[in-house]
Chains A and B, each alone.
Chain A
Amino acid sequence: MKRPTQPTETPQVGRSVPRLESQQKVTGRAEYVHNLRLPGMLYGKIFRASVAHGRIRRIDVSAAQAVGGVYRVVTSDDIRTLLPEPYYGPAFHDQPILAIDKVRHVGEPVAVVLASDPHVAEEAAHLIVAEYEELPAVFDEVQAMTSKAIVHETLKPAGTFPDLKHLKGRTNTNVALDFHLRRGDAERALATADHVFEHTFRTQQVMHTPLEPFVSVAEPRESSLTIHTASQSPSFVRIELARLLGWPENRIRVKVPFLGGGFGAKLYVKLEPLVAVLALLTRRPVKISLTMEEQFFTLTKHASTFRIKSGVTKDGRITSRQCEVWWNGGAYADIGPRVTQKSGFTAPGPYDIEHVAIDSYALYTNLPPAGALRGFGIPQLVWAYESHTDLIARALKLDPIEFRRKNILREGRPQATGTPMQDAAIDKVLERLGVLLDWERPFDRGSGTVRRGRGIAIGFKACISPTTSVAMVNVSADGSCIVYCSTVDMGQGSDTAMAQITGEVLNLPTEAISIVHSDTDVTPYDMATLGSRSLFHMGNAVRLAAEDARAKLRALAAEVGLTAETPIADVFRKKYGMQAGNVIGTGSFIPSYTPPDYATGLTPNATPFWMVGGTGAEVEVDTETGHVRVARLVNVADVGTPINPKIVATQLSGAAIMQLGFTLFERMDFDAAGQLRNASLAEYKIPGLLDLPREMVNEAVVAEQRTGPFGAKGVGETGTFGVSPAIANAIEDAVGVRLTSLPLSAEAVYRALRAANGEPLPEE
């Protein structure tokens, strides 16, 4: 690709630069771990548990070991010859690299077959036999609170994150974390409220479905390990492997090329500890590539139950709210406790409510583990509080926009934690939704068997904090520029955004800037690519690094007696007598943060920035079948000032379409024994082009995040917030039935219609 190199005065920020990697990707030249083959490499195939909860009586690997071409079969006994405590996890050190003594969910890794031929490894893995003493299992998050079935005998908090340090080992419980917030006196306010509303909402377990499944390669060196991995968090992988092995960080090198999607699945560590120990046991490079089917047993999105209760005045002011949220974390905590707290504190929604009480529980169950998925728990919460909000407005015969207008959090007002809202354009998002939906105009309500309705929903999210990003900007002797940062471009366009920020500072065209992908021996620390944090945190670090480089270039020019306007190449030539040398700018960013008080959950500084997203939906409901067709989906967001407006629009639409699948039909379907019945893309369907709304609008309101790089903040998750409740609200508007569980399947809608008519459809 032809790339301009000359300095430019054209602003780089705010320009819809085509993604730098698009040509590489569409011509099949972009680098992915899946394509990596190393000399002498072994392929690992995982043998997985067939019961949801069981004590391992016996693992017989003899038949697998006897298959021609099998190099070795490995179980946790082998791993413990290397690591006495092979447990990992970001919040709890609860997840064994391979099952030890017990299995806690169907599909848990129990053994690995290694062979030079992946087909041989797969064939041999089928021959492993495991016997279990089955234990009582628990699958429902509310039942897990009181269940006699205990998933983990003792809890093992990791304490990796400063704000999870209060987690302490507990026994005989499935509650991994309970978060509580109290502001005012919700109980008393509810007792005296004019109206009290209480509802319970549920969401289902779903999967991230990145089209590139998990894949990791470990390459052993003399006294070090190189890990090539499809990970959103290379720095965390290095630190966690160093902890597991008891090595210094510099003996572990983690390299991440492009990712074929992540969405929160490829965070913290996943396959990396396994390939690392296999490589150390065999002294050969080891690769494990999961199939699409295996992804269902690796990481998922929390199912949840949310009981919400509000006190409202006669004239429609919400004065009090109680929120109880139960998160189904599955068998291993992953980042679930953080979801419970960091998202939990926004459970009352973007409303100005004087008396608030929140109880949010992370539960262990015998299902595949749940973690972050594009929204970090927020879509589950918005689903409940915006369905609830709509129900209240209907009951009080108030217009849904007017009711929200009366109650939304406005600039400077304290959110549930007590943190004042700053740079959160909730009002603008709400008003713009009304405009784009023509809310005041008469609405075509359909006729015959097709009824039309519309609904809105707004949500917000705090960015997890505190987290750190470090960046380097290297200006070469010819004036060309390379950015070193560990943000992982998994399709969200971060390479392009970081290049735009650098170009803006250094007056270089974005297309002329190179980005070095994550390599922990080369690129500096970054907490992870998650939670829409990268543009804000790494963007700030890159901006600081570029400004540092600019200052150093100016100093260099002054040192050799040249003006600041002198072309960079001339400055270097005068300094070094030839094209030589370079200038390296560094930047490091961590926002300020005050941890919440343990007892009250309150803090004056909960987040570095707020994301605000709203959705309006116009739907058509087939009253004879319950089919819901989304005719129009309008997504409006506060993303601060967009760095790249085109990418902002596609991030909003991508997130909304993903949430549309979670809203209408995606669902992991478990039987009573915890066996997953639809672990394949033939039976677990995600939206395709034919499922898109007939019309979609994706818009960022005019806004500024004053602490962000050039006024910007994150956008990756914002489009998910309002989709589910907007559609449920529109369904009630169309046909008068209210669904309180996701997904809003055609059968669920039809059953509700029949029940409302007093002619319920037979169960079977």
Chain B
Amino acid sequence: MSPFELVEPRSLHAAIHLLDPDDASIRAIAGGTAVMLMMKAGVFRPRRLVSLRAIESRFSGVETGPGGELRIGALTPLAVLERSAVVRREWPVIARTLATLSNVRVRNVATVGGHLAHADPHMDLPPVLSVLGARVTIAGPAGERTVPVASLSTGYYETVLRRNELITTLTVPLQGRKRAAYLKCTIRSADDWPALGIAVALEMDGAAIHDAGVVISAATDKPTRLAAAEAVLRGASLDEATLARAGEAAAEGLDIVGDAHGSASYKKQLLRVYLGRAVRAAAKGAA
């Protein structure tokens, strides 16, 4: 690790102006759990790190806004979100997802904004937030813009964020009648990066599925909506045949490559199986 400049601005405005749209060796650091690993591995050699820990405290915290939507400051540690009473009550799928996200040491330090901006496709929250219709507010020199979480990531470690933009707030609409679940499958240890993540949000109409949102993560290079599976589920009754058809629809045509977690054909099998399990879990409201 070679020497670098570490700056700790006192405001978001100052932080944004310490970043450089054209210099990849200048980056913001929040919890640092991902950045430090990349620095230790030598794949990221910073010239300057802009620490966000001293900016205005309003960028950290969990509150509900007008219409009951959830607003989460980007600097909120994942563990704070996990323990938040309102999250547990109104968005239980988020709290349950966080309980198995990496490990407690990471959750205590890593932040919501950093988690989303890092855009490792193995991360747990992006698929869940995508099916819940969440959006992020992004601040840059020219002001603010809002982007759905579902279109934040553009590829492995890549997002729509410019180098001098920062996520400031995550907003999650009320879950309302939506029942949601997230299941992940790890291949090596339980706390391994997942081979596959599946988030499902359902609106049920009695025993039938009125509407469905399905997003896969980890097995693809960015969280990906499974529109074909959604189409099979929409309006169908929740039975084995439907789930099998939805699983086939999901696996078919999806570009999955083999890696250390498993071959492509095995991961497609996992997708077929976990899709049905996630839909059932969502319908039960149990996961």
A interface with B by C-beta (< 8 Å): 119, 122-123, 126, 291, 293, 624-625, 661, 665-666, 669, 677-678, 680, 682-683, 685-688, 690-691, 745-747, 750-751, 761-764
Contact = CB atoms under 8 A, between A and B. Distances in A.
A625 B189 contact: no
Given A745-B187, A747-B187, A685 B266 contact: no
Contacts, number: 64
A685 B188 contact: yes
A677 B260 contact: yes
Contact of A690 (B187, B191, B264): B191
A625 B269 contact: yes
Contacts of A750: 266, 269
Given A761-B269, A763-B263, A764-B264, A665 B190 contact: no
B260 A669 contact: yes
A683 B263 CA distance: 16
Contacts of B190: 688, 690-691
A747 B264 CA distance: 11
The 9 A-B residue pairs with the shortest CB-CB distance, nearest first, are A690-B190, A685-B188, A685-B189, A665-B188, A762-B265, A624-B273, A123-B2, A747-B266, A119-B1
A747 B262 CA distance: 7
Contact of B189 (A677, A688, A764): A688
Contacts of B266: 747, 750-751, 761
Interface in B163-188: 185, 187-188
Interface residues of A, dominant DSSP: loop
A291 B188 CA distance: 22
A341 B280 CA distance: 55
Nearest to B190: A690
Nearest to B276: A624
Q: Indicate the member of B3, B37, B187, B188 with the most A CB atoms within 10 Å.
A: B188
A680 B260 CA distance: 13
Contacts of A625: 185, 269-270, 273
Given A750-B269, A761-B266, 9 more contacts: A123-B1, A680-B41, A685-B189, A685-B191, A685-B192, A688-B103, A747-B266, A761-B263, A761-B265
A665 B187 contact: yes
Nearest to A751: B266
Interface of B: 1-3, 37, 40-42, 103, 185, 187-193, 258, 260, 262-266, 269-270, 273
A200 B4 CA distance: 55
Contacts of B265: 761-764
Contact of A682 (B1, B37, B187): B37
Contacts of B263: 747, 761-764
A119 B3 CA distance: 8
8 contacts: A122-B1, A291-B40, A293-B41, A624-B273, A625-B185, A685-B189, A687-B189, A745-B187
A412 B189 CA distance: 43
A661 B188 CA distance: 9
A678 B260 contact: yes
A730 to B, nearest CB: 19
B190 to A, nearest CB: 4
A227 B37 CA distance: 31
Nearest to B267: A747
Contacts of B188: 665-666, 685
A291 to B, nearest CB: 8
A750 B265 CA distance: 11
Contacts of B273: 624-625
B27 to A, nearest CB: 19
A126 B3 contact: no
A55 to B, nearest CB: 27
Contacts of A690: 189-191
A685 B193 CA distance: 10
Contacts of A680: 41
Contact of A686 (B41, B103, B189, B264): B189
A357 to B, nearest CB: 38
Q: Indicate the member of A683, A747, A750 with the most B CB atoms within 10 Å.
A: A747
Contacts of A688: 103, 189-191
Contacts of B193: 682
Nearest to B1: A119
Nearest to A622: B273
Contacts of B262: 746-747
Contacts of A762: 263, 265
Contacts of A682: 37, 193
Nearest to A666: B188
A751 B189 CA distance: 20
Given A625-B273, A683-B260, A126 B42 contact: yes
